[in-house]
Amino acid sequence: MRFEGQEPGDKAYAMGTGWLISPDTLITAGHNVYDWSGYGRGLGRAVHIKCYIGYHGKKNVDSPIVQQRLAKSIVTTAEWLTSRENRHRDVAIIQLDRPFTGELRLFTYKPTPKQADEMIGVVGYPADKVLADEDGPEERGAQMYEEFGGVAYSLEKNKQNPLGMLKYRISTFGGQSGAPVLRKGSKLVAIGTHVYGGGDKNQAGAIGTYGNDYDALLKVLTQQLPTAGEYQGIKLVKHEGAASNAPAPQPQTANGFVPQPSAGFGLGFEKTGLNQNPFIQTSSSQNGFNNSGFNPVESSPVDSDHSFEQGDFVPFVSTEHDEDVEIFLEVFRAVGRLVSGSLSTISPLLGPIGGPISAVAGATLNTIANAAESAFDSSMSRPSSLGSGSSNTGVTERAILAEASLQAVFKMPSDDPITHRVLNDMKVSYMALAPNIQDLIPKIAPALIASAKKITSDGRYIDKNNRRRRTLPAQPLQGVSNAEASFSGNDFLNGLLAPTKPLEGEAELFGLLGPIINTGFNLAKPLLREGAEHGLSFVGGLLSAADPVGESSFAEEQIRATELVSKRAFMGEAALQALSKLSMRELDQLQLVPADPYNESSADEGNIFDFVKTAAQTIGGLVQETVPTVLKAITPIFVDAVFSKKAANGPAERFLTVTPPPRNLKKRASTSILDELTRRHAASPPGIAKH
């Protein structure tokens, strides 16, 4: 898809999935035809959509099994066009310029049951799947995949589901937007259209009484209905849907309507609204992404001297559909706000100690992941402590660096191109490798909260940091050789190992700062890695199976707070990895926004290396003191679950063949024991269209 709001020189194409209900008609997501990218104005309506069936890579488009058509007319809901918040109305129907031919196994649809507990699946073209190309770069989103899993859902509107969406924990990725949601064994009968995905936020728009009236939308497409007006140049027509007796939207101007149209209205894109020329073949990506994944906003509503800590921001928009971008930014914002002092009344994990507690959570999760990987080794005996063993070298130190790096990112100017690059790199690694740890959260929450309460009641950390502390003149780091300090092979690490300003009151930690940086950077395994993703998901499944009602024993707000600090830990690792990719020139150019630009004493915050090392000194001692206590508390829980499972499975060879998920998986549900985990596999139902 190409959109009206793309810059003239922008040759990137978005991608999505659709499902054929007739040879010339398909259903897809509304955001595939009208884009609300990022947190800006969006790219508007699609002006050119090319649809394929049988697609399996660019070099195979001339294959006889591949057919291509262009969109001729589009119908979507008025609610979706007028507000990005109306995700329950995120659906569209596309009529093609001519029918697909051959033996087409077409989809049908039926109303979504109000509630059910059954096997359902999503079929589409996820962009995290890569098709190898011998003659060029690998192509994303070029293969069809499906995944089914057991899902208990309800369309009842409540606090957790205010829009009455069909929610499921099935692995999805950008590119699957518009995919059909199917019941296992129901062949080609859809009960929803996938519109939003990532982690435990996978959602589809429902069909029928509790969702969208597909029959009414089809009538708008196939019948000559009277025009009720226009919205941004798009015809607004009234159909006899479930809410058709609602009052019509009244024009606000000659070209627009008040952005609250009724559910009884559909929006039609006329044939003249779509470019009928073939795609211009360019050297840019044809799989839905430009080189960076984002296009910087030309004029940001955030002043150039503002950082992300200072309110809303619009650092970029995406030319692919923004579901991954939106998920990332949603988490990014949430974890940035958890250090607000007012939040400490909600949970002891939040507020001023949220930063160091997030680092503790990161070290804890990384240790669990390492232990899960080690448990696959038949020679490993039952450990007395999770923190023991060489595999855990540097996990605490890396967690400190990760949290300090994230704090630096929050201080970066929101309109700087280097900031855009860092955020894009963070988004890629976070969305690809941050696991779903929902089943693990209730098990680590008690230990984290107990430690947080102890820190708060002790008061020393909060009291010490309630006032601004001076930094002293720079000194060489202790425990770092001249060779290490002068050239490490990584520009970010080189800058961190340079002479450093000691933080007032942290003389003891300053003596350890050099080894902390060296060990955390060079020896520790990163928290965002494939092995950690698999290990944490695996452990979560085991713990959930062993105690399926464990979450109910802990207050919901504390579970949510634990999830939030854990996500901040993953986000911190993403920040550390992104900053490590910058050149020294970029790092030197990057000037952080000081807390008080009118206070000369805050000027040193502009240097990213000084800022990261000051932040590390601020939280480092507390994190190092707290991690062993948390690990001691959770060791029995983890060891009992994993090593009991290992004993039940017998030799390591058998254990290994059952446990690791396919290596090309991005995410997977972890709601049950290992043998019940669902797997995504290649599939080719003929009626799926890629566009």
pLDDT for position 538: 80
CB of 591 closer than 8 Å to CB of 606: yes
User: How big is the CA angle at 636 (ends 633 and 637), to the nearest 5 degrees?
Assistant: 90
pLDDT for position 275: 29
End-to-end CA distance of the chain: 7
pLDDT for position 663: 33
DSSP letter (8 states) at residue 291: S
Spans in the chain with pLDDT lower than 50 = 38-39, 199, 242-306, 308-321, 378, 483, 485-486, 549-552, 596-604, 647-648, 650-686
The type of residue at 98 is R
Give the C-alpha separation, 365 to 571, whole Å.
13
Structure tokens at 153: 């859902």
Structure tokens at 669: 């549900």
Strand 108-109 to strand 189-196: parallel, antiparallel, or no bridges (unpaired)? parallel
pLDDT for position 438: 84
CB of 440 closer than 8 Å to CB of 560: no
Phi, psi of 180 (to 5 degrees): -75, 145
**Environment class of 7 (CB within 10 Å of its CB; exposed 0-12, middle 13-18, buried 19+):** exposed
The topology under which CATH files domain 2-274 is Thrombin, subunit H (2.40.10)
**3-state SS class at 500:** strand
pLDDT for position 690: 64
DSSP annotation string for 266-308: EEEE-GGGS--SPPPP-SS-SSS--SSS-EE-SS-SS-TT-BG
Residue-range domain boundaries for the chain: 2-274, 295-660
Structure tokens at 142: 């070029």
Q: Residue 265: which of 142, 468, 82, 101 has the closest Cα? A: 82
pTM above 0.85, yes or no: no
CB of 54 closer than 8 Å to CB of 282: no
pLDDT for position 307: 53
pLDDT for position 686: 43
pLDDT for position 220: 85
